[in-house]
Amino acid sequence: MACLAAASQAVDPAQDPLNKAYEALRARQFDKAIEQFRKAVAAAPNRSSIRKDLAYAYLKTGETEAAREEFAEAMRLAPKDQQAALEYAFLSNDTGRTAEARRIFDRIRKSGGEEARATAEQAFQNIDRPLAEGIARWTKALEASPNDFSAHHELARLAEQRDDLELAATHYRKAWTLRPELRGLLVDLAKVWKAQGREEQAKAAVLAASRSKDTRTSEAASELLAARYPYVYEFRNAVEVDPANIELRRELAYLLLAMERPREAERELEGILERAPDDLPAAAQLGLLRLGRRDVAGAKPLLEKVLSGNDKELAERVRAALRPPSLGKRSHQDAAPTAVADVRTMADRSYKAGYLRDALRYYAAAHESDPLDFPVILQLGWTHNVLRQDDHALRWFALARNSPDPAIAREATKAYKSLRPALARYRTTVWFFPMYSTRWKDVFSYGQVKAEAKLGPLPVRSYVSMRFIGDTRHTTGEARPQYLSESSFILGAGLATDPWQGLVLWAEAGSAASYRRHQDVARLVPDYRGGVSFSRGFGHMLGSGRRGFFIETNNDGVFISRFQNDFLLYSQNRLGLTLPAMAALGGLELQVFWNTNASADAKRQYWANTIETGPGLRFRWKAMPAPWMFSVGLVRGVYTVNEGNPRRPEYYDLRIGMWYAVTR
């Protein structure tokens, strides 16, 4: 009994740091006490009393905001602790969060204990009375001077603190209308709109403010933006809120170009020139777009304006794009380094040295000065790509595809096509793999068509698909013949996660429709599947053009309802050497490797439990489209489960196949 009693007494993990914290408080060693209280919080994060003690320790050192946050946590953990709520409200008022303090005092004065109600009532009146008086005073001032910017601004600020959100929104909007260059007011307006539940309007105001030339405003707004890049409709909403925002309109135009919607991009560029007729970068881009669709009459005045303008670098880029023979070569004087060239040089040096954030800033500055510098546009794409900001990289690669330099356009197009399938909102994938097996003396065919849609910001895609699995022989030809494949079209709909380090989770439901009549299987069978897939490759892959070793692993765990609710595991692994393209053989690209494959299942059926190993090769010709590839493999395999196996426990198999896959 004594042992049981001792075992039942749980050790308090926070006790030791708490003892040390209280000792430090008695010795007036407040920094040490704070350190120990933090350890106690880490050990027992749900104890509100520790949070309060830590908050009081912060107050001893003058760290008011830190104390406020700890009281907030204590109040969250113990909603009925009115003392913590009062302390939080007083500190909120002291640190400029007047509206929050007023709300809490108002709540406690209406529902708290007698002593707490009296304290909260006095504090509430001390806040509310000056706010009400200020609102009345500024309202009267506006009656005399309706266009007084300061009066609108102050009235909006006081109304927001008093939770009169409609009044605050009205006067923030009027203040910004009077001073549209002060886009910081859009951030204030967005906060009020969000508190009112007007989410879309709030997002639009924040997006417009984030594209402000004022750094402080831009940074404050960017902190409120979603982590993803904005959608087109969000840019359009922001333009409706702030139609004079040239930077916003310009970015929308470039986004539309990246999405291959040039006519819409033209309309945005036209809107820029309506408000800023001397905007040469917009004129250059619009002129080249019109020229690209052979609207020479519409392009000519815009491009002539750029060529005769005072931006020599931009004019030179337009000349390079147009390549008119009469212009000749640049003069020696024009070839002298400029500020833009210096910035570009600094960007290149930072990129090569690995200072990618600095490189990004310099490339952005160079692009802002010359929007038609396609080498800079391409490098912006590569820099974002190395920083794993692929949504931004895709936009720059799409722009760089329009370069008049074929090498840049080719490189950008290749990068764009590699990135787009993973980021596109909608995509379609087609693959097929016919294969001949000497073991079965049969041709097997596998294929799939899949249409996917990204579910907003979630790392998940929904899809509908049609798989095909079939063969030519149909059965083994034995006394008790077995089917060699499912001989079915499988229609399904499901969900799949975006790849993470090569890992994908998926699940689908559908039906399998057999195109052959089986005596023991219905023509139409429900089909439920799901599982996990992991695929990675390291080293020099086929098509890299360089010699080197590579490793590939493809692993799948799949539940299939049609196979008696079985769960199957597959692992295919290759270790080998990639050879450079052989010009003497027509540009043949070749890989030689060693296969190691294994499979198993939960029901321990003989056909699903094997180990295989043997040599193989894959090849293609350089002139072939990238999705095509041929493979040959010779494996020796053994069954690891032989109960019910009508064949020998080991086998040899020569497999010859062709692979094709494309995503759009």
Q: What domains sit in the chain, N to C, each tagged with a CATH number?
A: 339-423 (1.25.40.10), 426-663 (2.40.128)
Distance of alpha carbon 17 from alpha carbon 32, whole angstroms: 10
- pLDDT range class, residue 335, cuts 50, 70, 90: very low
Strands (E), 252-336: none
Tell me, what's the pLDDT at 250? 85
Please give the angle made by the CA atoms of 437, 440 and 445, to the nearest 5 degrees.
Answer: 55
Q: How far apart are CA 52 and CA 67, in angstroms?
A: 8
Q: What is the pairing mode between strands 566-582 and 588-601?
A: antiparallel
pLDDT at position 636 is 95
- Which position has the higher pLDDT, 379 or 353? 379
Closest CA to 490 of 521, 519, 464: 464
Least confident of 10-14, 115-119, 518-522: 518-522
Determine the angle formed by the axes of helices 246-258 and 280-292, rounding to 10 degrees. Answer: 30
Q: Summarize pLDDT for 119-158 with one digit per residue, the tens.
A: 888 888 898 899 899 999 999 888 889 999 999 999 998 9
Among the ranges 9-18, 35-44, 578-587, which has the highest mean pLDDT value? 35-44
pLDDT > 70: what percent of the chain?
91
Helix, strand or coil for residue 571? strand
Tokens of 477: 């030809």
Using CA atoms, how far apart are residues 50 and 46, in angstroms rounded to an integer? 9
Average pLDDT of the segment spanning 223-229: 81
pLDDT digits (tens, 9 = 90+) for 458-496: 888 899 999 888 887 665 544 444 556 678 888 999 999
Contact criterion met (CB below 8 Å) for 399 and 377: yes
Residue 340 pLDDT: 52
CA distance 23 to 17: 10
* Residue 608 DSSP label: G
DSSP, collapsed to helix, strand or coil, labels residue 563 as helix
pLDDT surpassing 90 at residue 599? yes
- Name the average pLDDT for the chain: 84
Answer yes or no: are the C-beta atoms of 506 and 513 closer than 8 Å: no
Beta strand 610-621 with 588-601 is antiparallel
Partners of 591 in beta bridges: 578, 618
The distance of Cα 52 from the centroid of its chain, to the nearest Å, equals 39
pLDDT beyond 70 at 169: yes
The burial class, CB within 10 Å (0-12 / 13-18 / 19+), for 194 is: middle
Give the model confidence (pLDDT) of 244-299 as tens digits: 888 888 888 888 887 778 888 888 888 889 888 888 888 888 888 887 777 778 88
Range in 167-181, 332-346, 556-570, 636-650 with the lowest mean pLDDT: 332-346
pLDDT at 224 over 70: yes
Does residue 45 carry a pLDDT above 80?
yes
Q: So what's the pLDDT on residue 518?
A: 62
65-70 mean pLDDT: 90
Residue with token string 């062709």: 658
Which pairs with CB-CB distance under 8 Å and at least 24 residues apart come from 358-366? 359/383, 360/384, 360/387, 366/340
**Cα–Cα nearest to 350, from 366, 361, 338, 364:** 361
142 by Cβ neighbours in 10 Å (0-12 / 13-18 / 19+) ranks as middle
Q: What is the pLDDT of residue 120?
A: 87
The mean pLDDT value for 363-367 works out to 80
For the ranges 281-285, 304-308, 420-424, the lowest mean pLDDT is seen at 420-424
Mean pLDDT, residues 549-566? 90
The pLDDT-based confidence of 5 (bands split at 50, 70, 90) is: low
Eight-state DSSP code of residue 98: H
- Tokens 């509100």 belong to residue: 48
Provide, for the chain, the percentages of residues in helix, strand and coil under a 3-state DSSP scheme, each rounded to the nearest 5: 50, 25, 25
Confidence of residue 559 (pLDDT cuts 50, 70, 90): very high
List Cα–Cα distances, 267 to 95, 236, 272, 289, 301, in angstroms. 47, 12, 9, 11, 17
DSSP 603: T
Buried b (16+ CB within 10 A) or exposed e, 9-41: eeeeebeebbebbeebbeeeebebbbebbbbbb
Contact 555, 537 (CB under 8 A): no
pTM beyond cutoff 0.85 = no
**What pLDDT is recorded for position 341?**
57
Would you say residue 620 has pLDDT above 60?
yes
Q: What angle do CA 35, 78, 21 make, to 5 degrees?
A: 20
Q: Which string of b and e fits 568-604 if b means at least 16 CB within 10 Å?
A: bbbbbbbebebbebeeeeeeebbbebebbbbbbbeee
Instruction: Give 80-128 pLDDT, tens digit per residue.
Output: 888 888 889 899 888 888 888 888 888 888 887 888 888 888 888 898 8
